[in-house]
Amino acid sequence: MNLNLNRPISRRTMLKSTGITLALPFLESMLKAGQTATVPRRMVAIETNMGIIPQFFFPEKGGRDYALTPYLQKLAQHREKMTVFSGVSLPGVTGGHAAEKCFLTGTPHPDRGGFRNWVSLDQFAAEHVGVATRHPSLSLAMVSDGSPTLSYTRSGAPIPAEKSPSKLFQKLFVQGKASEVEANVEALRQGRSMLDFVGAQSKRLNQTLTHADKQRMDEYFTSVRELEKRLHAAEEWEYKPKPLVKNAAPADIDDAREFIAKTKLMFEVMKLALESDSTRIITLFIDTGVIHNITHHGNRPEALAELRAKEEAQFEALNGFLTALDGTKEEGQTLLDRTQVLYGTPMGSANSHSNVNLPVLLAGGGFKHGQHLAFDTQNNYPLSNLYLSMLHRLGVETDEFSTAKGTMKGLELA
Amino acid sequence: MMKPLAFALLACGLQAAEPTAAFFDTHCIDCHDADTHKGNLDLSALKQDFGDAENFAKWVKIHDLIETGEMPPKKKARPPAADVKAVTGWLNTALIKAEHLDTAGRTGVRRLTRSEYENTVRDLFDLPGIALQAGLPADGSAHGFDNNSDALDISHVNLARYIEAADKTLDMAIATRPTAPASEIVRLSLARNYEPDIMLMQGDAMLLRDKKIDPVFPPAGEYGHVNQGAHEQLGIFDRMSSVGVFRHEDESWNAYFRHFAALYPGRYRVRASFYSFQWDQGKILPSRGTEAARLSVVQFNENGRGGQHPSYVLGYYDAPSLESKVHNLDVWLNFKETLGFNVASLAPVVLYRVGTWGQKDRTMGYTGPCIANDWVEIEGPLNDVWPPRSHKLLFGDLPLTEFKGARPPVRRPLKQEVIGTRNKPEPEKGIWTVEPAEPLAAADRLLAHFLPKAFRRPVGDDVRQQYVAQVDARLKAGDCFETAMRWVYRAALCSPDFLYHIEPVNKLDDQALAARLSYFLWNSAPDAELLQHPRDFHTQVERLLKDPKSQRFIDDFLGQWLKLRSIGANDPDKKLYPEFSPYMQDSMVAETRAYFRELIEKNLDAGALVQSDFAMLNEKLAVHYGISGVSGPAIRRVALPKDCARGGFLTQAAVLKVTANGTTTSPVVRGAFVMARLLGKPPEPPPPNVPAVEPDVQGATTIRELLDKHRADATCASCHAKIDPPGFAMESFDVIGGFRDRYRSLHEKGDPAPRGSIDPKIGISFKLGPKVDASGQFADERKFGGIADFKSMLAADKHTLLRNLAQQLVIYSTGRDVSFSDRAALNDIVARTEKQGGGIRTLLHEIVLSPLFQTR
């Protein structure tokens, strides 16, 4: 097959071609001709849903000389590789807990009737960079009950998150047997042909529908096509061996109260996923529902103390994750330098369910860090601008994402 | 020179613009111009762009505010009635005309919701307990409900899950044996559950026989029993003795019958025998009354080890004093499911630990109530016909024969791996499947039966031929008949004909009407009788309401309209509300559902939404509400004493809980709930940059004092004069719906709190804080002293209450919002209902008869 290296290969071309083995962790042939190999960039977005006590998180001074607060103290060793934000929120995103599903979408008014979510930051990014890896993105959750997620498709449908670290590990690293692979491929092929069939049925139905309804039925057809493409890509990946890791498979922790341990376990598998280039986009929804009561502390000292202890443990877990990434070398840099880690919460004060002045930080990825960017707490700066900066860092060329009006003021690419 | 607004209106070519422009110039433009754009409305710049949804909504609001007289505000001069009529009439015509151009009033084509999908499959395949809903992604919500096309996106993820659900359904539906699995009766004792072994040894439970202590096993006293192994060898726990349990389930312990795990999904009959008694340090005495025993269905994870197995509650059953009562239940069990038990009406106590946590001298030192389970019997799987109806739906009367070919049918056998269960699977000999002599003819026949049933409408020959062609292709690829048919059945269950409500444009045809009726009142596909007589409206509505499946409508509608789906969103603070329990929560939901059912059964009018002289209660709720004379867990109608604050939805614990956050109540949240969900007048959202209120749980300042700005500041008052009053009246009720005249607080300076109706075994550490002030005044300045006169005044406005309920039911049953042009039809429904007495059952009939329901 003729590869015209003057033109970057489109995804369609890559999918159509057979027999190209992807041995490299990233596709050099995807690059524009004449450039040197670009750095593979990753993104991890984490939401802890029930707030972060503001007075233990936000530093007083803005700039480079801010004093570390109790929570930021837990991340002290990564100070130069992270930026802390204050006075930011997602414009129009209100409604207390309703905002949890808008952390990566920024869609305003989730508490109103007729709400439809927009595409989330990770899915948007995955559309562009996801094709480079076996898994375009991973949507994960640390939760005991229910199926919350940070990831939403273009049509606003939620993508259920994987809750089990052991299942995730299996999905990423456990080889299927040859007979399993064949069975999988056959199942995928039959799946595709069934989708072809039902897609045709929707075309038939579509002819009987009027304009607005045609669009809705088109959504079905688009979903069919999307799933077909994924099955096809999955088929190709069936033939490639999964990455080898030395680690043993983790055992899931069932006790919902052990949410710190559960978080750490998920972080471990996430680090393996990034290290093995199984994916470059990960979202993690941390649901601290088990301590929901004390997040409504009402300023009672003993509840505040209990909550602070739990949140400090959360920051310790985050520190562990950042340290693990920073300890992994890749071509003279560390994995942390190439992985943006966003950590924050959709409620500025969980006690009052307020959605302004969100505690958020960004670590790694290749920015000029080491500062506290303090914006106006009375008149918040849009957090969605940060998301645009993050997309640019990933190499996604776009002027628009969600409610962003531009890139994040004061945050420069390194 | 024409004023700018008039010029703009004329430029849009609308007639009679001048009087309207003059109206705005005289009465509106002073406050609503470019400089003083009160309420963010600048009439001089407001275009008419009815195609734009936001602009359209603004004009609707202008119309409504002028029509109700809310604008101009009270302090300004009243415009002459004739002018008001002219303006609103002109706007009315223009808006309706614009809507028709936009075809905004039509129900968009929409897919089944998660619960509709599950119920449709359950009814179609006769698999009443198959669990499919949880595997599907959550639906959105639009205009308050999830069955609106705006709420029902579809993505590749939904499709992937539909494929999984279809596989799960077909796995369960297809018979793999020539004869039914043998039905057995298994009798189970709690004594053989792992935990009660420990509990029996240590003292949280005891063995009983004939209502006396089992002589071979004395209750634990100063010391627990030792050497469990020896007891087991002697068979102490195998004697089918009754087990009396003191300990309520908690995060470290729950009781289930682990010697049984269902091997075959299907119908089972469960019998359970319970009684209760009062234990007094070794003496068995009559109990304080009928206690409530809870049975649940527990699904074993993997091999059954460990705890935290998912479960759902079956129900709460009478355990009468010193008298064994046998309960009979018809239950569906899925693979690896068993039953669980809990002493629901008992307060949480732990007897076996020594020291401050537990009870000195264990059981022998204890005095308190106890619930005994004599035994539980599980009989099944019950199959009145074989192969089952689910199989016949797919394969008709084709006989099952032993397969001898090369490629056997693809099956996913279920592995019985639960450790310790005593019921074992029957070994299956050989592979049994259907193998017709003329496969394509058989396929054609089977699909001719299946497709119209699944798709809820006739299916053309051409479409059926496409399915048959696929069977042909699979057979040619080497699949056996069952596998080939599975392919097309799976495709059918994933096709848009199954997943979507397909309705013709404008007037609905027979099939679409039947489907609308059954999805309204049964949340599922129509049955044969409904398909035959879809236009026999009165008879069919009555029939559908009388069928037990109508409970799905009540649960689904109330779950969204009154937010019952969020009942578990917050756990009440354990220190402030120690009396709360899951049993109380389940009772709350049961009350509200039963109340709505009663309104429909007795055709009560809309006043009953807010006020009534009866309530649907069990003992748990009655005690919680301070009403005497109710015994046992069953919900029944109770006449309320005079001057009782209860009666109507607003004073039901479930509603009071979903409008609070587990720790504090907010008059704004509750007030907004009443405005939006009962009166149909949702308040405006707050202006941006208003700081949220941080509630003070220490109890020094009441929420009312914190909200004082709502009264003091005129801008705030413009909305909060409407929002807050219902919330203030409802301040008489706490986060779990208990009545209070003083707030509970954890502040050390509070007054000691009386126990009231709280169980004597529950420790109380909360105190009494400030007094509750539930008085207030409506926006029209009528005053009320508390919840009682508030309810009377609210209930008097039956028309508004009825109209809102009608609107909610229309949105729910038609899957679309009530548009501006629909208002006339909605008002007609209300008028016709009122002419016949204003009853809610009548309302349901009138909705079905209305063009809103019968056209798309």
Q: What is the pLDDT of residues B115-153, one digit of tens each?
A: 999 999 999 999 999 989 877 877 888 899 999 988 898
Amino acid at B661: N
Q: Which residue has the higher pLDDT, B228 or B545?
A: B545
| B155 in A contact zone (CB under 8 Å) | yes
- Contact list in B for residue A205 (CB cut-off 8 A) is 496-497, 500, 502
| A301 in B contact zone (CB under 8 Å) | no
CB pairs A-B closer than 8 Å: 160
Query: What share of chain B in percent tops pLDDT 70?
Result: 93
Cα–Cα distance between B816 and B814 in angstroms, integer? Answer: 6
Q: Which residue has the higher pLDDT, B630 or B92?
A: B630
* Cis preceding linkage at B548, omega within 30: no
- Contact list in B for residue A254 (CB cut-off 8 A) is 301, 306-308
**HEC string for B653-701:** HHHHHHCECCCCECHHHHHHHHHHHHCCCCCCCCCCCCCCCCCCCCCCC
| A217 in B contact zone (CB under 8 Å) | yes
pLDDT at A109: 73
- Ramachandran area for residue B224 (φ above 0: left; ψ -120 to 50: alpha; else beta): beta
- Contact list in A for residue B502 (CB cut-off 8 A) is 205
Quickly state the pLDDT bin for B510 (edges 50, 70, 90). Answer: very high
Q: Which residue has the higher pLDDT, B350 or A127?
A: A127
Q: Which residue has the higher pLDDT, B193 or B455?
A: B455
pLDDT at B26: 84
* Cis preceding linkage at B72, omega within 30: yes
| B79 in A contact zone (CB under 8 Å) | no
Task: Say if the Cβ atoms of A298 and B138 lie within 8 Å.
Answer: no
| Kind and range of the H or E run holding B454 | helix B439-455
Q: How large is the average pLDDT for residues B88-108?
A: 76
Mutate to test the interface with A, among B133, B150, B153 (most CBs of A within 10 A): B153
Q: Which of B467-476, B556-565, B691-700 has the lowest mean pLDDT?
A: B691-700
Nearest CB partner across the interface for A299, out of B301, B502, B698: B698
pLDDT at B643: 86
| Closest residue on chain A to B110 (Cα) | A216
Task: Say if the Cβ atoms of B463 and A204 lie within 8 Å.
Answer: yes
Task: Say if the Cβ atoms of B494 and A194 lie within 8 Å.
Answer: yes
DSSP single-letter state for residue B641: P
pTM as predicted: 0.81
Task: Say if the Cβ atoms of A351 and B694 lie within 8 Å.
Answer: yes
Q: What is the tally of helices (H) and strands (E) in chain A?
A: 10, 11
Q: Which residue has the higher pLDDT, A27 or B520?
A: B520
DSSP single-letter state for residue B538: H
pLDDT at B468 over 90: yes
Q: Which of A281-290, B215-224, B612-621 has the lowest mean pLDDT?
A: B215-224
Task: Say if the Cβ atoms of A293 and B662 lie within 8 Å.
Answer: yes
pLDDT at B693: 67
Classify A300 as helix, strand or coil.
coil
Nearest CB partner across the interface for B490, out of A147, A194, A226: A194
CA B5 to chain centre: 50
| A304 in B contact zone (CB under 8 Å) | no
Mutate to test the interface with A, among B111, B156, B167, B407 (most CBs of A within 10 A): B156
Cα–Cα distance between A276 and A244 in angstroms, integer? Answer: 8
- The mean pLDDT value of chain B amounts to 89
In chain B, the largest separation of any two C-alpha atoms, in whole Å, equals: 108
What's the token pair of residue A70?
A: 């109790």
pLDDT at B58: 85
Task: Say if the Cβ atoms of A194 and B694 lie within 8 Å.
Answer: no
| B154 in A contact zone (CB under 8 Å) | yes
| A352 in B contact zone (CB under 8 Å) | yes
* Cis preceding linkage at B387, omega within 30: yes
The alpha-carbon gap from B690 to the nearest alpha carbon of chain A, in Å, equals 10
Cα–Cα distance between B615 and B621 in angstroms, integer? Answer: 10
Return residues 637-676 of B near A (CB < 8 Å): 661-664
- Contact list in A for residue B701 (CB cut-off 8 A) is none
Please give the order of strands across the beta sheet that includes B742-745. B742-745, B767-771, B751-752
- Contact list in B for residue A218 (CB cut-off 8 A) is none
The alpha-carbon gap from A304 to the nearest alpha carbon of chain B, in Å, equals 12
pLDDT at B196: 60
Query: What share of chain B in percent tops pLDDT 90?
Result: 60
The number of residues in chain B equals 856
Cα–Cα distance between B448 and B452 in angstroms, integer? Answer: 7
**HEC string for B773-834:** CCCEECCCCCEECCHHHHHHHHHHCHHHHHHHHHHHHHHHHHCCCCCHHHHHHHHHHHHHHH
Nearest CB partner across the interface for B108, out of A190, A212, A297: A212
Task: Say if the Cβ atoms of A220 and B138 lie within 8 Å.
Answer: no
Could you say which residues of chain A have pLDDT below 50? 1-36, 113-114
CA distances from A177 to A183, A239, A242, B8, B212 (A): 10, 11, 12, 73, 61
pLDDT at A32: 34
| B702 in A contact zone (CB under 8 Å) | no
Contacts 24+ apart (CB under 8 A), B55-60: B56/B95, B56/B98, B56/B99, B59/B91, B59/B95, B60/B95, B60/B820
CA distances from B488 to A371, B431, B525 (A): 60, 22, 21
pLDDT at B358 over 90: no
- Pair B394, B171: CB distance under 8 Å: no
The alpha-carbon gap from A202 to the nearest alpha carbon of chain B, in Å, equals 6
Return residues 223-282 of A near B (CB < 8 Å): 223-224, 226-227, 230, 254-257
Task: Say if the Cβ atoms of A216 and B108 lie within 8 Å.
Answer: yes
Return residues 34-53 of A near B (CB < 8 Å): none
Query: Which residue reads 């005690």 in tokens?
Result: B623
Q: What are phi and psi of B107, to 5 degrees?
A: -70, 120
Task: Say if the Cβ atoms of A194 and B487 lie within 8 Å.
Answer: yes
> What DSSP line would sit under B411-423, residue for residue?
--PPP---TT---
Mutate to test the interface with B, among A220, A353, A376 (most CBs of B within 10 A): A220
pLDDT digits (tens, 9 = 90+) for B785-826: 999 999 999 999 999 999 999 999 999 999 998 988 899 999
- Contact list in B for residue A217 (CB cut-off 8 A) is 109, 496, 500
Nearest CB partner across the interface for B154, out of A114, A209, A223: A223
Mutate to test the interface with A, among B407, B470, B495 (most CBs of A within 10 A): B495
Amino acid at A158: P
Task: Say if the Cβ atoms of A155 and B153 lie within 8 Å.
Answer: yes
- Contact list in B for residue A147 (CB cut-off 8 A) is 137-138
Nearest CB partner across the interface for B143, out of A113, A205, A257: A113
Cα–Cα distance between B852 and B812 in angstroms, integer? Answer: 12
Query: Which residue reads 């420069």 in tokens?
Result: A412
The b/e string for A57-78 (b: 16+ C-beta within 10 A; e otherwise) is bbbeebeeebeebebbebbeeb
Q: Which residue has the higher pLDDT, B245 or B40?
A: B245
Task: Say if the Cβ atoms of B685 and A112 lie within 8 Å.
Answer: yes
Q: What is the tally of helices (H) and strands (E) in chain B?
A: 29, 23
Cα–Cα distance between B432 and B177 in angstroms, integer? Answer: 6
Radius of gyration (Cα) for chain A, nearest Å?
22
Q: Which residue has the higher pLDDT, B343 or A38?
A: B343
Task: Say if the Cβ atoms of A112 and B494 lie within 8 Å.
Answer: no
The packing angle between helices B537-546 and B510-521, to 10°, is 30
Nearest CB partner across the interface for A300, out of B106, B306, B697: B697
pLDDT at B304 over 60: yes
| B494 in A contact zone (CB under 8 Å) | yes
| Closest residue on chain B to A294 (Cα) | B573
Q: How large is the average pLDDT for residues B467-486?
A: 96
- Pair B620, B345: CB distance under 8 Å: yes
Task: Say if the Cβ atoms of A223 and B108 lie within 8 Å.
Answer: no
Quickly state the pLDDT bin for B3 (edges 50, 70, 90). Answer: very low
The packing angle between helices B4-11 and B17-27, to 10°, is 150
Confidence check on the interface: ipTM exceeds 0.95, yes or no: no
Cα–Cα distance between A345 and B191 in angstroms, integer? Answer: 48
- Contact list in A for residue B490 (CB cut-off 8 A) is 194
Pairing mode, if any, of strands B205-209 and B242-245?
antiparallel
Q: Which residue has the higher pLDDT, A394 or B237?
A: A394
CA distances from B227 to A72, B46, B201 (A): 53, 86, 9
Cα–Cα distance between A50 and A48 in angstroms, integer? Answer: 6
Task: Say if the Cβ atoms of B502 and A205 lie within 8 Å.
Answer: yes
Task: Say if the Cβ atoms of B664 and A223 lie within 8 Å.
Answer: no
CA angle B437, B438, B440 (to 5 degrees): 145
Task: Say if the Cβ atoms of A201 and B663 lie within 8 Å.
Answer: no
Q: Which residues contact B245 (CB under 8 A, 6 or more apart)?
A: B190, B196, B199, B204, B205, B255, B341, B343, B370, B371, B372, B373
Q: Which residues contact B810 (CB under 8 A, 6 or more apart)?
A: B818, B822, B826, B829, B847, B850, B852, B853
